[in-house]
Amino acid sequence: MTVLEMAAPTKERPQQHRRVAPERAGGVSARRKWQSAYLRRLAITDTIIVAAVVFLAQWWRFGSDADVVDGEAFGHFSYTALSFALIIGWFAVLRVFRTRSPRVIGSGPEEYRLIAVGTLRLFGLIAIASLLLHLEIARLYLAVAFPMGLTALIASRWIWRRVIARERARGEFRTAVLVVGVRGAVVDLARNLERDDAHGYRVVGVCVPGYGGDVGEVVTVNGRDIPVLGDEHSVADAIDQVGADTVAVTASERFGPERLRTLAWDLERDHVDLVVAPGILDVSGPRLSMRPVAGFPLIHVERPRYHGAQKFTKTTFDIVFSTVVLAVISPVLLAAAIAVKLTSKGPVLYKSERMGLDGQPFPMLKFRSMVQDADSQVTALMKENEGAGVLFKMRDDPRVTTVGRFMRRYSIDELPQFVNVLRREMSVVGPRPPLRREVEMYDGAVSRRLLVKPGVTGLWQVSGRSDLSWEDTVRLDLSYVDNWSMMGDVMIVAKTLKAVVGSDGAY
């Protein structure tokens, strides 16, 4: 779910006598308190990391020598002075690129992307300045500072994200949301906001325009009752009643531009955020842009891009990553092949026909984890099917061998698929490789999965694997197709390692 923040201009409003909830005593919500403390800790951590990395790079290159930089424009100056300048510049870049903005902290890919882009721009600027000003800066000095600093900054943000995730799992560090809109849209938005605890949203109440029902009525979302606190005119009182610090407005014919602007003015004094759900599902932030046209803010949705530079970047990543992985895991591949051959009859590798890019069939390679001729037994076992939609899955499939069960638990049987990646039939990250019978049952929307190569891993792999419903599997695959990014692929690979080690949803 994509939520766009609305900027509200300043306007005086009449004073109202309202009861202030304990959570908002003194005009400061619990969210603002923990965010302020968190941002201070991030600033301290960033400063320590940058300073430590820069001076470590100086010591690595020069030891205790007080070397100097030769420059035609500035004469001679020490590397210590240069290090202090680099630290200040690096810290400033992190601030300019808003890497500690409340809108991105704890968001994962976007937070990491901003850090990476800011750091790359800084060192690119240093390289250009060195060339133009003829500064003889030691290459090893920069070559050590750049990768170590970038890695350390991203690692520290990852650690802080774990802290936030742990606190949110305990019910802390949450954003209390009051949702305003028609009943169906309110339920859909609440369900999407609370889909993952890591996002930190908790819907504490709803206001339904035109509502005139009995006091105490609720809407049920994911088994939890959320109180209905009135209509569109009850927002201010509802905020105080439940201590909300964010109001989310979704579909409602009663909320025109004037009413929405008035609501933004009303919320401004209490430092309550207003967000608007445009109703566009599974479209990531980079594809959305706000452009004012004739005084109206219009949301533009960019088309997904699968060609050009993006395709080249993804292909390069696939080839390099797969080559490295196959070289590293070659002993595991050899051990698995021997185990399969010695414990059951049949070939070591199983070739399963899957549908690839644009619906073209290809033989997907896996270590054989079932008895020979297992495909011929599918019809007899169909009544025991536990899979979702068109998928066939059994938690205790009698066709799986003892060795096969172990390999499946840790996804060892899927490792030969990196050969498919080198053969350009698959990608490291992508939608789940579908069977022909699945593709034959696709409707128009689901067939969009075939616009990109299937992946060895993907959103489906890190979000539950075999435990996902068919609808969730399709939703995740379509979301990946529409919102692909290189940083997203790196995040999915990292999450896959965690999912495989924990054998989450594997059988």
pLDDT in tens, 417-467: 999 999 999 999 998 888 888 788 777 677 778 888 999 998 877 776 555
Q: What is the pLDDT of residue 193?
A: 81
Q: What is the pLDDT of residue 416?
A: 95
Could you tell me the pTM of the whole model? 0.63
CATH number of the domain enclosing 285: 3.40.50.720
Residue 21 resides in a domain: no
How many Å apart are CA 395 and CA 392, to the nearest integer? Answer: 10
- 215 by Cβ neighbours in 10 Å (0-12 / 13-18 / 19+) ranks as exposed
Q: Do 250 and 333 belong together in one domain?
A: no
How many domains are there within the chain?
A: 3
Residue 356 resides in a domain: yes
Please state the φ and ψ torsions of residue 4, each to the nearest 5 degrees: -105, 130
Q: What H or E segment, with its residue span, contains residue 501?
A: helix 486-501
Q: Do 181 and 288 belong together in one domain?
A: yes
Q: What is the pLDDT of residue 9?
A: 39
- Which residues touch 419 (CB under 8 Å, ≥6 apart)? 322, 326, 365
In the listed set 136, 169, 202, which residue is the last one of a domain according to the structure? 169
Q: Do 268 and 373 belong together in one domain?
A: no
Q: Do 364 and 474 belong together in one domain?
A: yes
Residues 56-73, mean pLDDT to the nearest whole number: 69
Q: Do 107 and 202 belong together in one domain?
A: no
Q: Do 193 and 152 belong together in one domain?
A: no
State which residues form the domain around 207: 4-15+170-301
Residue 43 resides in a domain: yes
The yes-or-no verdict on residue 267 having pLDDT over 50 is yes
- Which residues touch 201 (CB under 8 Å, ≥6 apart)? 174, 175, 177, 193, 194, 246
Q: Do 155 and 186 belong together in one domain?
A: no
Residue 154 resides in a domain: yes
- Cβ atoms of 489 and 455 within 8 Å: the answer is no
What the block records as the tokens of 288 is 């959305």
**Strand stretches in 287-386, DSSP E:** 288-293, 296-301, 349-355, 361-367
In the listed set 275, 301, 327, which residue is the last one of a domain according to the structure? 301
How many Å apart are CA 118 and CA 424, to the nearest integer? Answer: 33
Q: Do 454 and 495 belong together in one domain?
A: yes
Q: Do 68 and 193 belong together in one domain?
A: no
Residues 193-205, mean pLDDT to the nearest whole number: 79
Q: Do 165 and 227 belong together in one domain?
A: no
Q: Do 415 and 481 belong together in one domain?
A: yes
DSSP at 283 = -
Residue 507 resides in a domain: no
In the listed set 144, 169, 194, which residue is the last one of a domain according to the structure? 169
Residue 105 resides in a domain: yes
Q: Do 121 and 267 belong together in one domain?
A: no
Task: Tell me the per-residue pLDDT of 162-188, one tens digit each, with 9 for 90 and over.
Answer: 888 888 877 788 888 898 888 888 888
The yes-or-no verdict on residue 492 having pLDDT over 60 is yes
Residue 355 resides in a domain: yes
Mean pLDDT, the chain, rounded, equals 79
Residue 24 resides in a domain: no
How many Å apart are CA 414 and CA 408, to the nearest integer? Answer: 8
Strands 361-367 and 296-301: unpaired
Residues 95-113, mean pLDDT to the nearest whole number: 82
The yes-or-no verdict on residue 2 having pLDDT over 50 is no
